[in-house]
Structure 1
């Protein structure tokens, strides 16, 4: 669906007001009251129940099928990087594995258009609740804060996949259909502005119901701080990254799971934010992608040899790796999520933000500021959970940053595109002015790697409909 078609009022309203009805059969936490008739925008925000249903509709849309925020960010950036490989040829995945995406690739178009659908829904809710006195003030603040977060979260992935992107903050079609790309810096500025508003509107308490008293599937203030910490890290705002991550770490609400089998379960104490599954037949998309239906079957996706060779002996995170031998050949695949199909009740939720990342963020930011002992302490916290010995022999910034890369790679493989994004933002280890991604990918795929592949193409269909959109270098 091209971007300009997303600004169709009736289509979005149908999604917003009917989604909770569909969710109701899955669980009560995401059933906020479900008006059944199509209504115009002012009616969507006419009372507490309908306004909350509109917000729930955004979560539902993100999780209703395998898509950009339900599996795609683990699959496609993982294939683009040195995280994942395939055991058999699938034409859909081949361009990602060779870093040779055409500008008319249907997957990147699907991701782009769905991201802008989420943005539109957030914009509609923010505008619909602004100065709205029909909704209880406390609920209005909560819903608006969640929408600000979800908009910033979506733009984070847009800029890290595509670079400069249109910055759409309204539902006015006449202003949006021909909007040019905004610079990444400006989009990040908007993310920070959105998150600052969100943290002022939200509390540390999670929205829940008696049926799901401990669920962390709605954004709270600390989820906002966690995303702020990540964005400050990506922008090289080291002190701000340290401050935001420290607030999350010291909140006392979250704990690293000492049993790594528990980390990605629905009740993980490490979870800062999870998305609740609603796709029929599945717990998570990652489980559907990475775990064969037959326990002895060959997995479709495996971890790359370049990742496996860096696993330290005794690393307990190997619990997140499935090993199977099929026809005398050994396969090692992602196994953070164990369930290929749905369970009743669902045992695994989509892990979006977790505490381990906050330690890694703080460690890296501290290392960049030459706070090396403090950075090593954070890394050792992660290593202790993984059953590994403390780092005691590293003493230079270069060594500590190499350790940061090692821990991030082992902790976040096949998870939300972390490796792909890390490689793009880190400088090369050699002092040749390149990025780390060029060092790694040119060695991994010397026949096909080009620096321009670090950004995906702006979809051709969008450029045909919006002549103001320019293409990324390296694509026609």
Structure 2
């Protein structure tokens, strides 16, 4: 059964019919009530509670199991570059550790199909709330804004993993089943359009409940601006990137935690957006993957030596690295999240946070030649890390090298930042004009297996078979 037929089956019976009873059993902030067992899609948008359940169902599904927006973006892009490694060998991870992913790889298929699943669900909410509906206007704006954000968020990861991807904006199976790949620029344009619509619909306030009065687990306007800042940065729109980041930074809604151990807690002051856990098995997927159950146990996933090589001995972010000696050998693993079980419930999936906004603005300012301002932003991040201010940066190249250093130390093992950064940055010492930073790094790290075409993952072969309009990325069969 092909991808879009799966989506069609999901919608035809009822919108999230099988999910709604599950939603009611999780944390109350994600509880939309107990609707009837059979709800057809048109009825959803005649009821405030059902419409809210439809939107909440997207968050719930994203966090229900390990997946594209719950751990996988920290794990597999990290394996694909100079960030993460394994202490043992398992079949699922090996192709990413050698950049030799076959087009029939189940992980890249799982990420593709599930991300399009989220997009389909967002499309349903968008169609339901932009068509005839009976939803309270304020609630309609909130839910529609969240759906636009989550759709843009999902497309951001698709294009950065796979390149050109089908731009599906409808739930109509007959229209979407044979959509070809859309150029990246057009997909990014849609992301920006979605985010501009979202910012006009949302406010800076978070949706909360009396039980969770400070939770930041539903999208607000500032989360939209934070994602816009990132997308503008990736597109080279420096002024827009700096402007969006500045709005978030100057909102006074967020502060860098002076104690880095607090940065990834559920009540982190620097959290712009978090996804709330819904599984009883773990707090976060990263904590479950990176932290061994046995306190002194050998971690399965460790940090590459090159990260620690570049970490200043004074850097307080060493608290984000777990070091243990097993059998006379030292292992260093990600430790931003400390908990590998479901209780106590103290860590949420950190999606967007303030430190990234400072890094975005620093890079955007450096690219515009605003070096003192760029250095000030980097020094803000460094101060929290207990490091001295940067001085004697007089060239754009020096500033951008400093940006890479801070982004690497601040954002490691987090949402694929390192992999995506290496792909978008030019080489420091290029041997030809178009060479990217990733070729410098990966040719040194994996000279036997690295090929430039590995910057994109393959389009799942099963999807190409089912949709003749799809084409494969260069370098894959």
TM-score range, shorter chain: over 0.9
Residues 1:233 and 1:10: Cα distance change in structure 2 (over 3 Å)? closer
Q: Which residue of structure 1 lines up, in the alignment, with residue 410 of structure 2? A: 411
Q: How many residues align?
A: 475
Conservation of the 8 A alpha-carbon contact between 1:15 and 1:61:
no
Conservation of the 8 A alpha-carbon contact between 1:303 and 1:332:
yes
Give per-residue Cα distances to partners, 1:218-259, cap 9 Å, x unaligned: 000000000000000000000000100000000000000011
Conservation of the 8 A alpha-carbon contact between 1:104 and 1:461:
yes
1:20 CA displacement? 4.0
Q: Which residue of structure 2 lines up, in the alignment, with residue 462 of structure 1? A: 463
Q: Which residue of structure 2 lines up, in the alignment, with residue 195 of structure 1? A: 195
* CA RMSD across the alignment: 1.1
The 5 Å alignment of 1:171-190 reads 171-190=171-190
Secondary structure of the residue aligned to 2:229 is: helix
Secondary structure of the residue aligned to 2:28 is: coil
Q: Counterparts of 1:7 and 1:284 in 2: how far apart (Å)?
A: 27
1:15 CA displacement? 6.3
Q: Which residue of structure 2 lines up, in the alignment, with residue 309 of structure 1? A: 309
Secondary structure of the residue aligned to 1:159 is: helix
Q: Counterparts of 1:265 and 1:36 in 2: how far apart (Å)?
A: 36
Q: Which residue of structure 2 lines up, in the alignment, with residue 385 of structure 1? A: 384
Residues 1:136 and 1:237: Cα distance change in structure 2 (over 3 Å)? same
1:280 CA displacement? 2.4
Conservation of the 8 A alpha-carbon contact between 2:10 and 2:16:
no
Conservation of the 8 A alpha-carbon contact between 1:270 and 1:355:
yes
Gaps of 5+ in 1: none
Conservation of the 8 A alpha-carbon contact between 1:16 and 1:55:
no
1:10 CA displacement? 4.0
The 5 Å alignment of 1:258-277 reads 258-277=258-277
Q: Which residue of structure 1 lines up, in the alignment, with residue 161 of structure 2? A: 161
Q: Counterparts of 1:367 and 1:214 in 2: how far apart (Å)?
A: 35
Q: Counterparts of 1:206 and 1:471 in 2: how far apart (Å)?
A: 41
Q: Which residue of structure 1 lines up, in the alignment, with residue 283 of structure 2? A: 283
Conservation of the 8 A alpha-carbon contact between 1:367 and 1:400:
yes
Q: Which moved more, 1:370-379 or 1:17-26?
A: 17-26
Gaps of 5+ in 2: none
Structure 2 length-normalised TM = 0.98
Q: Which residue of structure 1 lines up, in the alignment, with residue 98 of structure 2? A: 98
Q: Which residue of structure 1 lines up, in the alignment, with residue 355 of structure 2? A: 356
Q: Which residue of structure 2 lines up, in the alignment, with residue 371 of structure 1? A: 370
Residues 1:146 and 1:474: Cα distance change in structure 2 (over 3 Å)? same
1:13 CA displacement? 5.8
Conservation of the 8 A alpha-carbon contact between 1:6 and 1:120:
no
Structure 1 length-normalised TM = 0.98
Secondary structure of the residue aligned to 1:302 is: strand
Conservation of the 8 A alpha-carbon contact between 1:276 and 1:349:
yes
1:424 CA displacement? 0.3
Residues 1:413 and 1:10: Cα distance change in structure 2 (over 3 Å)? closer
1:445 equivalenced with 2:446 (yes/no): yes
1:347 equivalenced with 2:336 (yes/no): no
Q: Counterparts of 1:62 and 1:123 in 2: how far apart (Å)?
A: 15
Q: Counterparts of 2:273 and 2:388 in 1: how far apart (Å)?
A: 29
Conservation of the 8 A alpha-carbon contact between 2:15 and 2:39:
no
1:32 equivalenced with 2:13 (yes/no): no
Secondary structure of the residue aligned to 1:7 is: helix
Give per-residue Cα distances to partners, 1:322-373, cap 9 Å, x unaligned: 00000110000000000000114x1000000000000000000000011000
Conservation of the 8 A alpha-carbon contact between 1:2 and 1:113:
no
Residues 1:336 and 1:15: Cα distance change in structure 2 (over 3 Å)? farther
Q: Which residue of structure 1 lines up, in the alignment, with residue 401 of structure 2? A: 402
